[in-house]
Amino acid sequence: RAKPRLVAETVYSSDSQSSLARIYGSALAIGESIEEVRRWPSDIEGVTQARLAAVAERYLVPARSVTGYLTKTRDPDAAIAAA
């Protein structure tokens, strides 16, 4: 379900000139080409469940995780000073 929705959002975003300019600008800023952006729908379609699982297994490991704890304080200034 996520794949068709993501492809549709990618295609619909090209209907708006301002949205398309933002997408192209963001992609170019990180070294992608316009052609790579235009290939996004087919690249998304090419993702398989097995490929996604392999990537998740490789990168979503406890050694790479970060855990944060939110604690309450009675003195808001003390919380700012501790940061």
pTM over 0.85: no
Q: Which pLDDT belongs to residue 16?
A: 87
Q: Which pLDDT belongs to residue 79?
A: 66
Q: Does some domain include residue 65?
A: no
What is the domain count for the chain? 1
Instruction: Report pLDDT digits (tens) over 59-79.
Output: 999 999 999 988 777 777 776
CB-count exposure of residue 4 (10 Å: 0-12, 13-18, 19+): exposed
Range of the domain at 25: 1-45
Question: Under DSSP, is residue 16 helix (H, G, I), strand (E, B) or coil?
Answer: coil
Q: Does some domain include residue 6?
A: yes
Q: Does some domain include residue 19?
A: yes
Q: Which pLDDT belongs to residue 83?
A: 61
Which of 12, 2, 1, 6 has its CA nearest to residue 42?
6
Q: Does some domain include residue 9?
A: yes
Instruction: Report pLDDT digits (tens) over 12-38.
Output: 888 889 999 999 999 999 999 999 999
Q: Does some domain include residue 76?
A: no
